[in-house]
Amino acid sequence: MRLSYTGLIALLVLILASCGNPKELRYFQGNFDTAKLSSINYKEPVIQTGDILNITVYSDDVAATAPYNMLSSPSATTQQNTMMGYEVDKAGYIQMAGLGPLKVSDSTIQQLQLELDRKFEKLLIHPYYNIRFLNFKVTILGDVTKPGTYTFPVQKVSIMDALGMAGDLTIYGKRDNILVVREKDGKREFGRLNLKSPDIFQSEWFYLQQNDMVYVDMLDKKAITTDQTTRWIGITTAILSTASIITTLIITLSNHK
The DSSP code sequence of 48-111 is -TT-EEEEEEE-S-HHHHGGGS----TT--HHHHHHTSEEP-TTSEEEETTTEEEE-TT--HHH
Residues 160 and 37 in one domain: yes
Specify the pLDDT at position 142.
Answer: 96
Q: What is the pLDDT of residue 256?
A: 63
How big is the chain, counted in residues?
Answer: 257
Same domain for 156 and 39? yes
β-bridge pairing 86-87 and 148-151: unpaired
CATH number for the domain that contains residue 164: 3.10.560.10
| pLDDT one-digit tens code per residue, 150-204 | 999 889 999 999 999 999 999 999 999 999 999 987 899 999 999 999 999 999 9
Tens of pLDDT, residues 79-96 = 444 457 999 999 999 999
- Say yes or no: 39 and 149 in one domain: yes
Say if residue 57 is in the same domain as residue 126: yes
d(CA 46, CA 103): 13
Q: What is the pLDDT of residues 59-80, one digit of tens each?
A: 999 999 999 998 654 444 444 4
Instruction: Give me the pLDDT at residue 82, please.
Output: 46
More confident residue, 185 or 111: 111
The pLDDT value given to residue 245: 77
Q: Is 155 domain-assigned?
A: yes
Section 22-36 average pLDDT: 80
Highest mean pLDDT pick, 95-104, 210-219, 231-240: 210-219
Query: Span 125-137, mean pLDDT?
Result: 94
Residue that is last in its domain, among 133, 159, 191: 133
Indicate the pLDDT class of residue 24, thresholds 50, 70 and 90.
confident
pLDDT reported for residue 203 = 94
Q: Return the higher-pLDDT residue of 132 and 224.
A: 132
Q: Is 92 left (phi over 0), alpha (psi -120 to 50) or beta?
A: left
Tell me: the pLDDT tens digits for 242-251?
767 777 767 7
Do 35 and 157 fall into the same domain? yes
* Residue 75, burial from CB neighbour count under 10 angstroms (0-12, 13-18, 19+): exposed
- pLDDT for 190 equals 97
Note whether residue 25 is domain-resident: no
One domain, residues 207 and 224 = no
pLDDT of residue 109: 95
Under DSSP, is residue 149 helix (H, G, I), strand (E, B) or coil? Answer: strand
Position 243 in a domain:
yes
Q: Is residue 224 part of a domain?
A: yes
Do 203 and 143 share a structural domain? yes
For the ranges 23-37, 145-159, 194-208, the lowest mean pLDDT is seen at 23-37
* Residue 12 pLDDT exceeds 80: no
169 and 229 inside one domain? no
Whether residue 250 is contained in a domain is answered as: yes
pLDDT at res. 2: 45
CB 67 within 8 A of CB 120: no
Concatenated DSSP letters of 151-195 = E-SSS-EEHHHHHHHTT-B-TTB-TT-EEEEEEETTEEEEEEE-T
**Same domain as 84, residue 120:** yes
Can you say how many angstroms the Cα of residue 42 is from the centroid of all Cα atoms in its chain?
18
Do residues 221 and 173 lie in contact, with contact meaning Cβ atoms separated by under 8 Å?
Answer: no
Q: What is the mean pLDDT of the chain?
A: 83
Tally of domains in the chain: 3
The residue range of the domain holding 90 is 52-133
In a domain, 26, yes or no: no
Does one domain contain both 38 and 82?
A: no
Does some domain include residue 98? yes
Buried b (16+ CB within 10 A) or exposed e, 31-54: eeeeeeeeeeeeeebbbbeebbbb
Tell whether 247 and 128 lie within a shared domain. Answer: no
Domain end call among 83, 116, 133: 133
* Contacts of residue 170, Cβ cutoff 8 Å, sequence gap at least 6: 143, 144, 145
Asked whether residue 125 is assigned to any structural domain, the reply reads yes
> Which residues are paired to 96 by β-bridges?
100
pLDDT at 3: 46
> HSE (CB half, 13 Å, CA atoms) of 39?
7
Return the pLDDT at 133.
Answer: 94
User: What was the pLDDT predicted at 71?
Assistant: 65
Q: Which helix (H) or strand (E) holds 249?
A: helix 220-255
Q: Are residues 140 and 124 in the same domain?
A: no
